[in-house]
Structure formats: C-alpha cells, structure tokens
Structure 1
C-alpha cells in the first residue's frame, strides 16, 4: 500500500503504523502517534489516542515502521567536496586534505558543501548531525543556512582554539574568543533546528586555560563541548610530546572532562582513561567507519557501554548512511573484540540502535528534545517500508535493522514535524540542481587547493601494480 504523502504535509495528523519503535520496548504494534506543531503531542495505544483526539482520522500505515530519526554525533559538514579524496590515505588527512581544502573554499563553496552533506545525511536517515567545527571563518554561517534550508537538525560548534600553550595566545585573544563563543551560543539558543556548541579541535590546539573556560561555558549553557581525542597514534604521541600527557589525561588536568564534553573517536584508550570518562560523565562519539577507513584502532565501544560511558555513533563525514553505520558499529566490535572472547552477541543489535538514536541525542545535548518517539519531543522520525525481501520473513526486527535494513527502505524523513524527504528526495527544493552546481564548483576548488595525497587514485594504483 502506498502511503499518502499529503498526510505528512498536514499541520496536525494521527499516524497508525504497523509498528512503532519505542524506548525501551523496541518494535511495538498497535500504537497511535499524533504530530502537531513540530512535536509528538500524543503517543500510546491507538484506541486510547483516538479517544483523546476524536477529530483526527487515523492514517493507517500497513507494513511500515515509524522510528526515530538517527543522530550523527560527529560530522564535518564542510568537507563533503573532498570525501573520496581521503580514500586509502594515512591517518592524519586533516593536515594534507581537510585544512587546505576548507581554508581555500569561498563562502558560497562552503554553503554548497554543507548543503550537499545535509542532503546526504537526510537521505541516509539522519535527522540530526553534530558538526564538530569548521576551519573556515565563513563556515558557521554556511552550515547554519544549509541546515535550515535542507531541514536538518544541527548541533553547530564554534571552534575556540587559541594556539596552545606554546602558541601566540594571550589573555586578550582568549577574551575575544570567549566573547565570540558566548555570542554564538546566544544566537542559536531558541532556533528550531540549529543548536549552539563549542569546540576545541584537539586538546593541544588550546591553552589549558582555554580548555577549562570553554568547558565551563558549555556546562553553564547546557550545551556540548566537542573535541577530538585519542584518535590515532600520531595524535597520542603529539600530545605526549607537547603536554607530557595523553589527550584524555590532558583534558582531565585542564578541567575539561565532564557531562558537557563530547569526545570524538577515543579509539586508543587505556583502562584508566575509560574510568576517567565514566567517572566524569564524559560522552564519546564512536566512529566505526572512520576506524575502518583511516584509523589505527577501534574504540572499545562495548566496554564503554558496560562501564556506563555515554555513547553515540558518528560518521566523521565518511558515509552518511545510518543503516550501514549500525552494521559497521557492530561488525567492528565483533572483529576486534568479540571474536577473541567468544562474544557472539556484541551488543545484541539494540545497543547500536539505541546509540544511534536516544543515546546519540543525549550525548550531543539533545536528549530532552529528540531521539525518541515520545510525547513532547520534536517530531523527528523516519517512515520505513518493511515490505521488502530483506525482511521477509522477519523474526527479530532489532537485529534486522542493524544487519539487513537499508537506506532504500526509508520512505519519508520528517524533521520538526515537516516532511523533508519523500522517497529519497527533498520535497521543497531542487537537489539535482544543487548537485550540478557542486560538480562544477568542487572541480575548481579541489584543483586550486594545495591538497597533498599520498596515494594515487584507484585506477592509477591498479595500472601501477599491473
């Protein structure tokens, strides 16, 4: 049965899907969900919801799952022009690809890059992304505009690097940075889609004083401070040389760990560091695809979960496909940790679904706003077609969503109660026109940027090894 697209365009409606994904029950039949004013205004057994809203006619959704939109807790929206330039490259691609590219892009280029990334995220089932900060002075405005126009919820970080203890930082510089940070947070305080955040790119890029002040500012404002830490061997060694401590230890000494802090990666962590993360309430964005493509290690996400460390899933801008991210999250744990100890469950499916929805929302500071199908939360959801060969027959939908479901099943993407994508494409703007412009602009931008690749492209590599 074809779902009426027009229903999802109404200002107020009652959905009656075959299944609704609820926390902690999972796939639950017989539910009614009312959407109005951008929120879920009623969720419960259909008969009870109908009785409370006699003016609404339920829209039956047979063979459909209504589920929360996915949360990407670590992204770089202004890097989409160069996403495949990083394939096959060593770990520290930011030095040779991302910094040269982002700093070279003009304001309109940055807007196009961010809007393309937003489109990819929505197509992949993400209704929220957490952007870790851009290296361009024009990037914040570009990302905010792109997110608004695409209809993507975005946690937007302003980078507050002050050069590190051996840099050119002084008290006046720090005052200016903190003033700009406060302005940034105030600007987005009441925005329906864009939510303020602050970032330090890596701990040694800021003085200890700035690390502590930014963390305190985020704690006071109830937003997240984002930072890359313990990502790969080079970053750990650099921190040891510059600070005499590993990155997480450095953050701890500076007073920058805590419930306001979201650490991206944390792949190379010691037992002591895990306990520090747990005891301080610090959150982690687990990026399994980034580990597979350019990392030295896989974060011990199952151990983090067992210790009670707050955990979300991130793409790191690699591939904006939420279902493939779920699969990668479980597969990486199985290959690196599970096989060696005979753990055939590796999270039992639900662990990764929770981390990618409610857990991710909580990790990036939006746990009271999105991530679940629940009364009062923002109506950020997906409508998934279950009538596909991959799910016939269906015995364990939780596991099946992790291992068998795919982006092609996403029929509708709704953010803040508004239909953003229908069958993979925006409903109110021309995505193909955007892609045409991106192809023209990106070709020139990449050609002009001082990018340094270590390896040739795939075809050249094959010819050189034939």
Structure 2
C-alpha cells in the first residue's frame, strides 16, 4: 500500500531550521521518500495544498474513560476530585458506556492532531476500552488500572492484590504486542496511595520479567504526597524506586512537587515524566519544574490528562499552557516554542519507547504524521520559527486537516475517516446522560452536577 502527499511544507522536527516544500511518499506504513515525487502511481494521493506537514503529536497521559466529565473540573482539589467525581464516574461504567466514552475521546484526539497516546484506562471492562481504541486507529499504550488499597480505594474500583495480578496477566496474554503495533500493553498502577506495597512490588517484578512499560501518577499535589510519606515512610518517588518501579520504561504523570534529589533520581534511573499543565492549573496542583527536569536530563513529554481540564484533548493548548506558565515563573526563554513542540513530538516518542520510529520525519520511520493549516507569525526570524510560534502561542488558529497512523488515513481534509463523528458524538453524550442517571441514583450529587456542567459546555 502506497500513499503520496503532494505540495507539503515539511517540518521534519521541532528543531528543523527551515520548512521544505516537498512531496512525501509512504509505503507499507513507513516514510519512503521526502522530496520530489518519486512515483505518480501511488495507491492514494493527498494534496496538502501548501499546508504544514509535521510529525504526529503524542500525548503520554490521557484518561479516555473519563471523557463524559468534559469541562466539569474547577473549584476542587485533586483528592476531592477523585473521590467526588472521577471514581464515581468510573465505577458507574458498564461495557457499553465505557466503549462509547473511549470512542468519543478518541474522536477528539484525532480531530486535535494527536496520533499516539499513553492511556490510563480504568479498573473494569478493560477489553472494551481496548476495542474502542483499536476501532479509532490511534496508536496507543493502555492497560488495566490497578487499585487494591482497602482504605484509599472505593469498593467498586478495588481489586484484591491477587485479582489485580490475575486479570492483568490474562490481558497481557491477549493484548501484548511486540511489533510496535497500534495497541501495546502497559502496567497501570493508579498511584502509590491506591496501591499496596505488595501490588507495587509485583508490578515492578512483572515489568522487569516481561519488559513491560509502567504508567502511573506521582507527586501531583501535596496531600497525596503527605499520605504516602506518613504511611510508607518515604515520599512516592523514592518509594517507587525502592520497590523497583523507576527506570527507562516508566512514565510518571505530573511530577509537580519535586525536590532536587528526586529530580536527580529520575534522571539517574532514566524515568520519563509527562507534564499536564492544564490539569495542574485547573486543580490548583502547582507548576511542574519542567526546565529543571530537562536540564537534569529527564525526558519530559506532554499530556492533556482528561477532558475535565482540556475539553477537546487539544495538544496545542497544552503546549501553550506549558510555555506560558514557565514564562511567568522563570522568564520568556525558560521553555521556548521549539522546546514544547519537541515535548509533544520526539519526547513523546521517547516516552513510548519509540523514538526510533516516531517523533521526527525521517525516511524509514513510521508514517504517523499530521497536516495542519496555520498562519505563521510574520515577526519570526524564519518561516519555520513563524509556524512553530503560531502553533504554540496561537493554538486557536491551528486547523488540523489530515492525520495518518502507520500510513493509514485517520482524517482527511478535516473529516475523520475511521469513525462516524456524528454517531460517536451522539453515543458519547448518551453515555454521559446514562452515567449521570446512575450516579444520581447512587447519591453522587457532586459528580452529577459536575457532569451536567460538562454536558452543557
């Protein structure tokens, strides 16, 4: 299968000095040639109309199961948010509402120009979530969420340690991929608060034995850090290290409140960090020390977390937030437009362990890419700088036209090709209404009010 993209302004990477007016040939899902057209008899031809072609955007922390809570956050801290809103919603899911919620989130991601994600699923019905992802065509790492702590987990989302491990092994047997396929399995302990040390230790052993990645939350806000320090004797990141969970195949979401020693530990172990600026701002969690992490050699990527904080899952708005909060904290050059675009592309690929296949446009790499219409800033030193400046600082002006994963067209000329957008949106809103009804019946008024707010946003 071959595909030819004509008349594209190619931005090969976030560090590219210039844009190239070129054609791009894709064969069998990989980039075959970037330059003058090598063939006119490709199976499929797309005219980019002089728009910008760049590597597909990668988000390394999202919760597709929480899509029905879109736009519902605000005026609440993290632990109250989890107890009053997130966990009641996840517990109310059945396979049907979860499937439609995941597809709804996937639709938003495709429309936003995201081509690959690291998804933190939920405790139940994990296979249904996988089917929703696979039907969308997105590249994804996902896995069952692990929660077994009797005191800190709601009963409807709590497994025994044995159940959590048994179900995980069954899912690995069915869904583990070793060929860089569109869906790969990862181990997802929610965060230290919700997991016993026994479970965390077994996760570390399983990851080491099978070469599986780990995806969890860490150091998002002070209350959860204090709980772990009080009950386990150490802060979460050193505790995870003691239990064998840090390393080059581990992705930690948030990492807002870090000591210098903890930054050093992340760097020494090669652990990856996902920065979620809109989530951290909405929940009042704080501002992650991203420049310090990057300076120490820690790989930092981006994620929009959930639609509660970023209703469209837009990576462009995450890039803007990431740049602006560091500008306010440390000055305008603390995190440049090129820095944050690299976080959303190559650094995301590193977080997925796929930097040899994704994150830049190079012959031989996988054809995960997007075409966007964007008005370059006329005040920049070069056309490339002007385009990147507009992408980061004027995200509302970016219009995603086309996206590909493995050379498969997910969206062309603004129309999603793998999902029926109208049907997915309608089914997603029906799932939201049903979840509100169930939570209301269970007495979850705070959650229902938040969900209704999202339904009208």
Task: Report if TM-score (shorter chain) is over 0.5.
Answer: yes
Q: In the alignment, what sits opposite 1:6? A: none
CA contact (8 A) 2:358 2:365 kept: yes
In the alignment, structure 1 residue 36 sits paired with structure 2 residue 27 = yes
CA-CA distance at 1:60 after TM superposition: 6.1
1:369-380 correspondence to structure 2 within 5 Å: 369-380=357-368
Q: Which ranges in structure 1 are unaligned for 5 or more consecutive residues?
A: 1-9, 461-466
How far the C-alpha of 1:78 sits from its partner, in A, is 0.4
Deviation at 1:312, TM superposition (A): 0.8
**CA separation of 1:205 and 1:222: change in aligned 2, threshold 3 A:** same
Contact 2:85 2:447 in 1 (8 A): no
Work out whether residues 379 and 415 of structure 1, in 8 Å CA contact, stay in contact via their aligned partners in 2: yes
Q: Counterpart in 2 of 1:232?
A: 221
Matching of residues 24-423 of structure 1 within 5 Å:
24-25=15-16, 27-43=18-34, 46-47=35-36, 50=38, 61-92=48-79, 93-135=81-123, 137-138=124-125, 140-163=126-149, 174=161, 177-186=164-173, 187-189=175-177, 190=179, 192-317=181-306, 318-319=309-310, 320-335=313-328, 337-338=329-330, 343-386=331-374, 388=375, 391=377, 395=382, 396=385, 397-406=387-396, 408-423=398-413
Q: 1:36 deviation in Å?
A: 1.7
Q: String of CA shifts for 1:289-335, please: whole Å, max 9, x gaps.
A: 01110032111011101110011101111321111111011011112
Query: 1:77, 1:113 within 8 Å by CA — same for their partners in 2?
Result: yes
TM-score, normalized by length of structure 2? 0.86
Return closer, same or farther for 1:282/1:383 CA change in 2, 3 Å cut-off: same
Cα RMSD (Å) of the superposition?
A: 3.0
Paired residues of 1:215 and 1:261 also in contact (CA < 8 A):
no
Relative distance call for 1:118 and 1:454 in structure 2 (3 A) is: closer
1:7 aligned partner: none
Q: Provide the TM-score with structure 1 as the length reference.
A: 0.85
Change (3 A) 1:59 1:128: closer
Q: CA deviation at 1:174?
A: 4.6
CA contact (8 A) 1:313 1:360 kept: yes
Distance (Å, rounded) in 1 between the aligned partners of 2:214 and 2:224: 19
* Cα distance in 2 between the residues matched to 1:370 and 1:180: 31
Deviates more, 1:178-187 or 1:372-381: 178-187
Residues 68 and 431 in structure 2, CA contact (< 8 A), matched pair in contact too: no
CA distance, structure 2, for counterparts of residue 70 and residue 367 of structure 1:
13
Query: Which segment is superposed worse, 246-255 or 113-122?
Result: 246-255
Q: Provide closer, same or farther for how the CA distance between residues 437 and 455 of structure 1 changes in structure 2, counting only shifts above 3 A.
A: closer
Alignment check: 8 A CA contact 2:30 2:406 kept: yes
Contact 2:70 2:451 in 1 (8 A): no
Deviations 1:125-163 (A, max 9, x none): 11111111313x11x222211112221111112223343
Larger deviation, residues 211-220 vs 113-122: 211-220
Number of residue-to-residue matches in the alignment: 434
Q: Offset of 1:393 from its aligned partner? A: 6.6
SS, match of residue 401 in structure 2: strand
Is the 2:69–2:451 contact (alpha carbons within 8 Å) kept by the matching residues of 1? Answer: no
Distance 2:215 2:294 in 1: 20
Q: Which runs of 5+ in 2 are unaligned?
A: none
Per the TM alignment, residue 90 of structure 1 is displaced from its structure 2 partner at its CA by 2.4
Distance in 1 of aligned mates of 2:61 and 2:451:
27
Structure 1's 97 and 324: CA in aligned 2 closer, same or farther, altered over 3 A? same
